[in-house]
């Protein structure tokens, strides 16, 4: 998967996970509606709001990882430098996706050196795992108040950051 496809896939994954989680959490919706009335974000810098968003994201993923049923669905955040770029970026995705990317890179390296090996790793194999990840996240939010609360805090931090960016 090239960098652009990987980035759009990741954006789709995180966006769909968060939107699914948001749709399944009534308390998160209530708290997000209350956050609309909160304008404390106006007095904060962009950098401070970025930090709060990152911290809220980590808290949400940590609370989800603590309760999900299978460690391959743990969401891990890493800072990487995309191929062909000098700019480092933070990337959060499930462990099975990190493993998939590593496998693809190894296969590509083997083929580029002339060694036989599988072609592109089967991305169709990912769809059942993505569906299971969505289900795990939805269940975690429905069954564990701390996960739903962490998601509500993440939603608020994301909204605050987006508002600040629109203001400038």
Q: What is the pLDDT of residues 72-125, one digit of tens each?
A: 999 999 998 888 899 999 999 999 999 998 888 888 877 777 766 655 556 678
Count of structural domains within the chain: 1
What length does the chain have?
Answer: 168
Residue numbers of the domain that contains 125: 3-167
Identify the bridge partners of residue 91 per DSSP, sorted by sequence position: 78
- Interval 19-73: pLDDT, tens: 555 554 445 555 555 555 688 888 899 999 999 999 999 999 999 999 999 999 9
Task: Answer yes or no: are the C-beta atoms of 63 and 150 closer than 8 Å.
Answer: yes
Task: Answer yes or no: are the C-beta atoms of 141 and 26 closer than 8 Å.
Answer: no
6 contact partners, CB below 8 Å, separation of at least 6: 101
Neighbours of 62 (CB within 10 A): 15
Q: Between 162 and 111, name the one with better pLDDT.
A: 162
3-class DSSP assignment, residue 80: strand
pLDDT band at 153 (very low <50, low <70, confident <90, very high): very high
Task: Answer yes or no: are the C-beta atoms of 120 and 6 closer than 8 Å.
Answer: no
The predicted structure's pLDDT at residue 108: 80
């Amino acid at each position: 998967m090239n960098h652009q496809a990987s980035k759009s896939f990741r954006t789709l994954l995180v966006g769909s996970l968060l939107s699914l989680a948001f749709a399944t959490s009534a308390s998160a919706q209530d708290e997000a509606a209350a956050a609309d009335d909160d304008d404390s974000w106006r007095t904060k810098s962009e950098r401070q709001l970025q930090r709060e968003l990152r911290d809220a994201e980590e808290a949400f993923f940590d609370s989800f990882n603590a309760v999900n049923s299978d460690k391959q669905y743990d969401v891990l955040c890493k800072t990487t430098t995309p191929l062909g770029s000098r700019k480092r970026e933070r990337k959060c995705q499930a462990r099975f996706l990190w493993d998939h990317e590593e496998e693809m890179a190894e296969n590509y390296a083997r083929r580029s050196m002339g060694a036989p090996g599988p072609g592109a790793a089967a991305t169709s194999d990912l769809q059942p795992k993505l569906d299971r990840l969505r289900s795990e996240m939805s269940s975690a939010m429905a069954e564990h108040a701390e996960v739903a609360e962490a998601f509500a805090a993440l939603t608020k931090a994301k909204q605050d950051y987006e508002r600040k960016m629109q203001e400038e």
